[in-house]
Amino acid sequence: MRLIVTGGAGFIGSALVRHLIHDLGHEVLVVDKLTYAGDRRTLASCEDAPGFRFLEADICDAERMRAAFGEYAPDAVMHLAAESHVDRSIASAAPFIHTNVVGTMVLLEAARALVAGYDAARRGAFRFLHVSTDEVFGSLGPTGAFTETTPYDPRSPYSASKAGSDHLARAWHETYGLPTIVTNCSNNYGPYHFPEKLIPLVTLNALEGLPLPVYGDGGNVRDWLFVEDHARALAAAVLRGKPGETYAIGGRAERTNLQVVHAICDTLDRLRPGPRPRRELIAFVADRPGHDRRYAIDPAKIERELGWRSSVTFEQGIERTVAWYLDNEAWWRPLRDKVYGGQRLGLLDTP
């Protein structure tokens, strides 16, 4: 297949592109603006693959998107480009609305124009996969889990912008018959995760003996999925998913933020012993405004209908991730310096 992947130089997008190229042998055109969160080095292993191409462009640029779609003539579009950091959305919402909402509309329109020129067979096989988050569903109480039918209740500018884009993807299916599929996934973690996010931030602060800031009481619960499992789920959704459907994706691995931080500290103490236990570096800080208490996903539908299942346990994934950061300082050091400069203590976020 020929696939366009937007946001392919980001954390999840690059894991997906590596999977599509190396494991599945597809051809991929990455469309990415290379914002502060995009890094072409995440795609180093794909650069020489015959089926790999890269276009540095803004998804909000309607003319360029229409031209790129027309020239490449993909069998599917996998849309991951987004502004993705909740804390940044609280500080400044405009880029989130622009990229996440307007950008998605631009891509849906480019896809609609593209398939209008396809013959019936190609049009029937075309897919537009819109990649989204479980944060659109709001906050859960102590029990229950989000499913595909959970009503939307976004509570941060980031999740509101993602909710808007999910509705657009569905509307383009209902109104124009564009074969869109939406996925809503829980928190990802793994290699190449930008150092401002929870797991890399805590790993790197702990490595350098710096305080580990934890929002509120550390009791906020998230479900965690290893990024390579998410990449496999997205490939399954685009290859076997049904147009107009939504698939909730999760790792069946609920942890409080404090449990996550403890797991990182203990793994690091084992892999790279320091002068004292890293848990002593934990520092509780004022909670984030509107901080959702608990997210959990019931992934039964994608497991049943598409035969996907997470394969990496949280313990295995944390070990692999911490080990990867220990081995890849050349990747994260310049990014960490760029974002935090001399002041190494970043705000703690969940991804």
Instruction: Give the residues across from 213 on adjacent strands.
Output: 283
Task: Pick from 72, 84, 201, 292 the residue near ligand NAD by CB under 6 A.
Answer: 84
Angle at 271 between CA 331 and CA 309, to 5 degrees: 75
Contact between 192 and 140 (Cβ < 8 Å): no
Nearer Cβ to ligand NAD, position 3 or 9? 9
Tell me if 162 contacts ligand NAD by CB under 6 A: yes
Tell me if 220 contacts ligand NAD by CB under 6 A: no
Nearer Cβ to ligand NAD, position 32 or 292? 32
Tell me if 166 contacts ligand NAD by CB under 6 A: no
Instruction: Give the residues across from 139 on adjacent strands.
Output: none
Task: Pick from 3, 110, 129, 131 the residue near ligand NAD by CB under 6 A.
Answer: 131
Query: Collapsing DSSP states into helix, strand and coil, what is residue 217?
Result: coil
Tell me if 10 contacts ligand NAD by CB under 6 A: yes
Contact between 6 and 32 (Cβ < 8 Å): yes
Looking at residue 92, its amino acid is S
Q: What are the backbone angles phi and psi of residue 2, rounded to the nearest 5°?
A: -105, 120
Nearer Cβ to ligand NAD, position 16 or 206? 16
176 is catalytic: no
Please tell me what DSSP assigns to residue 45. Answer: G
Looking at residue 38, its amino acid is G
Q: How far is CA 341 from CA 198, 201, 334, in A?
A: 18, 14, 10
CA dist 189 and 224 (Å) reads: 7
Nearest to 210 by CA among 282, 109, 315: 282
Contact between 223 and 189 (Cβ < 8 Å): no
Tell me if 257 contacts ligand NAD by CB under 6 A: no
Tell me if 150 contacts ligand NAD by CB under 6 A: no
Helix, strand, coil percent content, the chain, rounded in steps of 5: 45, 15, 35
Tell me if 103 contacts ligand NAD by CB under 6 A: yes
Q: Which of residues 17-36 bind ligand NAD (CB under 6 A)?
A: 32-35
Tell me if 191 contacts ligand NAD by CB under 6 A: no
Q: Pick the catalytic residue: 39, 135, 166, 196?
A: 135
Tell me if 233 contacts ligand NAD by CB under 6 A: no
Two structure tokens written together for 23: 């494991």
Nearer Cβ to ligand NAD, position 5 or 281? 5
CA dist 162 and 168 (Å) reads: 10
Tell me if 180 contacts ligand NAD by CB under 6 A: no
Nearer Cβ to ligand NAD, position 27 or 223? 223
Tell me if 60 contacts ligand NAD by CB under 6 A: yes
Tell me if 256 contacts ligand NAD by CB under 6 A: no
Contact between 191 and 334 (Cβ < 8 Å): no
CA dist 141 and 196 (Å) reads: 27
Query: Collapsing DSSP states into helix, strand and coil, what is residue 56?
Result: strand
Task: Pick from 82, 105, 248, 348 the residue near ligand NAD by CB under 6 A.
Answer: 82
Tell me if 81 contacts ligand NAD by CB under 6 A: yes
Tell me if 7 contacts ligand NAD by CB under 6 A: yes
158 is catalytic: yes
135 is catalytic: yes
Stretch that binds ligand NAD, among 119-127, 182-190, 278-286, 333-341 (CB under 6 A): 182-190
Q: Pick the catalytic residue: 27, 39, 109, 134?
A: 134
Tell me if 323 contacts ligand NAD by CB under 6 A: no
Q: Which residues are the active-site residues?
A: 134-135, 158
Positions touching ligand NAD (CB under 6 A) are: 6-7, 9-13, 32-35, 37-38, 58-60, 80-84, 99, 103, 131-133, 162, 185, 187-188, 194, 351
